[in-house]
Chains A and B, each alone.
Chain A
Amino acid sequence: MDDVRLAERAVDTDARDIKFQCRDVQVWYGEKHAIKDVSVDLLDKTVTAFIGPSGCGKSTFLRCLNRMNDTIGIARVEGQMLLDGENIYDRRVDPVQLRARVGMVFQKPNPFPKSIYDNVAYGPRIHGLARNRAELDEIVEKALRGAALWNEVKDRLHETGTGLSGGQQQRLCIARAVATAPEVLLMDEPCSALDPIATAQVEELIDELRATFSVVIVTHSMQQAARVSQKTAFFHLGNLVEYGDTDDIFTRPRDPRTESYISGRIG
């Protein structure tokens, strides 16, 4: 484990506000109990990593945070998930409004088969964030700069987004998510389809995004979790086994299951 970088990135997480307060969350896929009694507080302006073996429920939990599981007919969620004190599973909540505040980046880069500009401008357009073309241009530029992609694409904004390299496509997807000015950014294994150089670029970007957003990242790579996150949650068989500061989890795990996982004995 890269202890030097760990120490560099450690911040005082106690001083941060709580962005997401989750209490006794249960998720069923039909008969399968996928998430059991998970209670966790996700902090603002902090990168939180969800780690755990395949099928442990970390992606499921992540997708509950912006109600993407609503699109799966058989999924059922119980418990409380408070975003700034409001339950996102309240009957009055429109998931469309929620998703504008909680953006998402997926495992596989999935830009729309449209131009780079339109990819980024789509969210602001449907949410009416820009009053005119100039404002929209500004939002697009800001989002692309925020995703560290502006310099590479500024001369070909009207070329198709699917023509970019894998890493650029993933950063385009981040720009697209950032463009709607969300408060939380969910990332579901954003680097698993990328090569090491692109991965390093995206990780660096995640570290910068922390200044503006609360970032939640699901990852299979423990090194990545250690490199980018301040808080880490370890999931196992649908349970949240351990949650705490990243360096504590990786250096002084309290639960034997966590220790087994990070030392490679299970997973």
Chain B
Amino acid sequence: MTDATTPRPHPASPAAPVRRSLLIEDARTKRRNAAERRFRAYGVVAIGLAIAALVFLLFTIFRDGSSAFFQTYARIPVAIEAQVVDPAGNRDPAEMQKVLTMGYGKLLDNALAAYVEENGIQIEGLSERDLSTFFSAQGRADLRNAVLADPALVGTVIEAPVMTSSRVDGMFKGRVSRDSAARDAKTSVAQYELAMAMEKQGDLQTRFNWDFVTSTDSSDNRPEAAGLGVAILGSLYMMLIVLVLSLPIGVAASIYLEEFAPKNRLTDAIEVNISNLAAVPSIVFGILGLAVFVNFVGLPRSAPIVGGLVLTLLTLPTIIISTRAALKAVPPSIRDAALGVGASRMQTMFHHVLPLAMPGILTGTILGLAHALGETAPLLLIGMVAFVTTYPSAPPEGFLDPASALPVQVYNWTQRADPAFFERASGAIIVLLAFLLAMNLLAIYLRRKFERRW
């Protein structure tokens, strides 16, 4: 308004031509350039913050989780005493089954006591309890399985690696120190010193822990034995179901909506609702899955089939939206060309438009799958959080067996008290991230491979 009341001579008006040197920045240009520099600085700061957050996240996860991939084992001679494991003395596996895992614990206790004596290890206050909690309960179970599988071992002395308890394992991962051992009811300073002495002798070894990736979840008493096997299988089964169901349904729905459906209020409503579905909180899909698939249809709880169906519903809107975008992006000249030589609408679609839209469709599908892989909330509601220690069988029967899922396993482990579970939760996140990264790389690869110029 002030401009109107106090008119200034217009610099470009023909009456007063003002020539300024190009070498000097005038005030207006200066302001403009400053604004541009400010904007760029904002961008650099924003990206810097994002990268810092990502690095921090990855750093903490790897710091806490990488130790889950390593496990400490003791290698000491263990005498398989016949009177303990085979009281009947006839080497009959059926009779030997009656000796419970607890009995094998005695073998390990005796072996450790013998080891301490033999090597002359003198530790003040080393109690029987320190010896019996030195090994993981899983160690006894492994030993029992080995003997039952091969009764010839009875009466011999074997030297197999035996899994140590989570506390002993923690001593070599920085989780348990001498001071924390003194305060911990589940270990003691004497046990700490025993472990250190055995380490010095070279009879404790830390090696890569394949069991973490392959074995099943375990109870609170033996966190050191917990693994991701069931969760990985469960996630894999669900992804298979999601892929097999949502890709054809999603692509068919998008083709129909994009190419064949009449444009009227009904299709408008469908369109709006598909976009809305993509924004519905995932837990709502979980409630729906519980009500429909479990309670109404009667499918078993905790089964990958239910999880897969729920995740399919969750992924469909994403796939439909990205597929429609990919179909729209195909230039109309290609459709014209195909129609012009007398191709039907369906031929045009399947011979020309769909192949050109394929990279976009695949990218959208894989990103949808990656989203589904990391989804936790709906799976909690349909019982995938259950404690499962048996592997689901091979598909298709396995789709009905109880299983877990990777993100649910992470959630589950973070709820448990033992610090070894916390370490495993971080380890499971690493596995999950590795799968997500692999899927994203696959998406990029497919996009590059199928990308065509027109």
Q: Which residues of A contact B (CB under 8 A)?
A: 66, 68, 71, 73, 96-100, 103-106, 108, 110-113, 122-123, 126-127, 162, 173, 176-177, 179-180
Contacts and interface: CB of A to CB of B under 8 A. Distances in A.
Interface string B333-369: 1111111111110010001100010000000000000
B337 A106 contact: yes
A37 B313 CA distance: 53
Contact of B352 (A112, A176, A179): A112
Contacts of B452: 113
Given A68-B340, A180-B342, 16 more contacts: A73-B263, A96-B342, A99-B340, A99-B341, A103-B340, A105-B340, A106-B336, A106-B337, A110-B331, A112-B352, A123-B342, A126-B341, A126-B343, A126-B351, A162-B453, A177-B340
A122 B340 contact: no
Nearest to B331: A110
Contact of A66 (B335, B338, B340, B343): B340
Contacts of B296: none
B348 to A, nearest CB: 9
Contact of A108 (B262, B333, B338, B351): B333
Contacts of A66: 340
B453 A176 contact: no
Given A122-B351, A162-B453, A110 B343 contact: no
Contacts of A177: 340-341
B117 to A, nearest CB: 80
26 contacts: A68-B339, A71-B339, A73-B263, A96-B342, A96-B343, A99-B339, A99-B341, A100-B342, A104-B336, A104-B340, A106-B333, A106-B337, A110-B331, A110-B336, A111-B337, A112-B337, A112-B338, A112-B454, A122-B341, A122-B343, A126-B342, A162-B453, A173-B337, A176-B337, A177-B340, A179-B341
Contacts of B352: 112
A176 B335 CA distance: 14
Nearest to B352: A112
A40 B3 CA distance: 63
Nearest to A94: B344
B344 A96 contact: yes
Interface residues on B, range: 20 to 34
A104 B336 CA distance: 9
A120 B290 CA distance: 55
A-B interface, 6 closest residue pairs, ranked by CB to CB distance from nearest: A100-B342, A110-B333, A104-B340, A123-B341, A99-B342, A110-B337
Is chain B's interface secondary structure helix, strand, loop, or mixed overall? helix
Nearest to B341: A123
Contacts of A173: 337
A97 B452 CA distance: 30
A16 B102 CA distance: 106
Contacts of B344: 96
Contacts of B334: 110, 112-113
Nearest to A70: B339
A28 B320 CA distance: 33
- Interface centre among B331, B336, B337, B339, by most chain A C-beta atoms within 10 angstroms, is B337
A96 B340 CA distance: 9
Contact of B335 (A71, A103, A104): A71
Contact of A127 (B337, B339, B342, B356): B342
Contacts of B337: 106, 110-112, 173, 176
Interface string B252-264: 0000000000110
Given A73-B263, A126-B347, A106 B454 contact: no
Nearest to A74: B263
Contacts of B340: 66, 68, 99, 103-106, 177
A209 to B, nearest CB: 16
B204 to A, nearest CB: 63
A103 B454 CA distance: 21
Interface string B118-156: 000000000000000000000000000000000000000
Interface string B220-231: 000000000000
Contacts of A180: 341-342
Contacts of A176: 337, 341
